[in-house]
Amino acid sequence: MVELHHAGAVTVSAELAHGLPPHDGIPVNIQVLQTVALEAVALADTFRRQLAADSPLGITATVATASTGNRLLPFGNGYGQCALIADIRHPHKLLPASTELAPNTDDETLRECAPELASGLLHQFGQFGINLRR
């Protein structure tokens, strides 16, 4: 779901556990999280250009969970199917991650912002090898 606000705010929501097997924690599909970060940066930049913003645009990402006390369980795409990633942290919640787009942002800067945003979230799981460039 995407919300575009008159003041320039963009809200992107996605189900990060869709299609994952049930567990005693909260499953999070890492590949979907990375893709949502990429799409959120692209949407925010497009909306910023449409509004002709003349100041920097801050982008903040977080994984919202209900206050259940359950841990977040990262799932990755291994050999064609999603599986729980072994030997990685299972935090109770993630701190927000942020990046910023300048008013004169070029394509190279956009390509750097999406991995920065995703990395800010994924580092909290202890996962470091993030590559969103294709």
Report the distance separating Cα 53 and Cα 45, nearest Å: 10
Structure confidence at residue 62 as a pLDDT band (50, 70, 90) = confident
Domain spans of the chain, in order of start: 2-125
| Paired tokens of 48 | 């910023």
Residues in the chain: 134
Question: Please, what is the average pLDDT of the chain?
Answer: 82
Confidence of residue 128 (pLDDT cuts 50, 70, 90): low
Burial class (CB in 10 A: 0-12, 13-18, 19+), 75: buried
Summarize pLDDT for 8-34 with one digit per residue, the tens.
677 788 888 888 888 888 899 998 998
Does the structure show a pLDDT above 80 at 37? yes
